[in-house]
Amino acid sequence: MEIIQVKDYQEMSKKASEIIEGKINLIDKPVLGLATGSSPEGMYECLIDKYKKGEISFQNTTTFNLDEYIDLSKDNSNSYYYYMHDKLFNHIDIKSINVHLLKGMARDLREEALRYERMIRDAGGIDLQVLGIGVNGHIGFNEPGTKFTNRTGVVELNELTRQANLRHFQSLDQVPTHAITMGIETIMDSKEILLLAFGKEKSRAVKGMIHGDVDEHLPASVLQKHQKVTIIADEAALSNV
Ligand code: F6R
């Protein structure tokens, strides 16, 4: 694991966007795995900036998002479909046919998960997967206790995660109880991983990810077994390391 300590959120976002830019410029048809949440928001802003300045083009880029809530429609501002279009896709030259998100409203969610896995395979796999980390050490929506052998599928969100995401909703009963997410094994198949962690509340999870036992109780600890992981984190997130 390579750990890059940054001084603030802005530096984390800038460094992350430079890594993405490097990939896009290096590979003919780059395949990116993307995350939602607060951690990558600034990175998306930097990427939009680079696109507007003509430094980067997404014409040949394909994306796969990590996860989506079950039962939120695309136009619900809390859906990850909405987030990604609002924060990135609507502002760059990516082709909509190359944008992939799990469909949380699919009638057959098992088939949806298989379809997603097939599409990732057909695209040649993910070159670079961006991740955030939950306060409980989740990656994607793979909560503590999830099998490392899990592939894309439906999961139940635990209370800590629902509480953490409550800030985007009006009340806890509006926060979905289930999501569809790439599995740990799907994430581990990515050729390279970039994880962003910011703030004191992530410090326990970050410590476990880097130094803890590789154990299903802390999903992010599995990343110790990946051949190429870069972690960009601020001092507070690294304060227990
Ligand atoms: C988001 C995702 C989650 C978040 C994690 C951290 O697509 O899969 O694992 O990355 O919950 O969220 P933030 O960045 O909001 O602290």
Q: What is the pLDDT of residues 11-35, one digit of tens each?
A: 999 999 999 999 999 999 999 999 9
What would the pLDDT profile of 63-110 be if each residue is shown by its tens digit?
999 999 999 999 999 999 999 999 999 999 999 999 999 999 999 999
Between 41-52 and 80-87, two packed helices, what is the crossing angle to 10 degrees? 40
Catalytic residue from among 112, 143, 189, 234: 143
pLDDT of 111 reads 98
Cβ 188 vs Cβ 225: under 8 Å: yes
pLDDT of 227 reads 98
Q: Is 25 a catalytic residue?
A: no
> Which amino acid residue places its CA nearest to atom 8 of ligand 1?
140
User: Measuring CA to CA, which residue among 86, 68, 84 is closest to residue 176?
Assistant: 68
Catalytic residue from among 100, 112, 117, 138: 138
Instruction: Give me the residues paired with residue 99 across strands.
Output: 63
Token digits for 154?
């439906």
Residue 127 CA to ligand 1 centre (angstroms): 20
What would the pLDDT profile of 132-184 be if each residue is shown by its tens digit?
999 999 999 999 999 999 999 999 999 989 999 999 999 999 999 999 999 99
Instruction: Give me the residues paired with residue 63 across strands.
Output: 32, 99
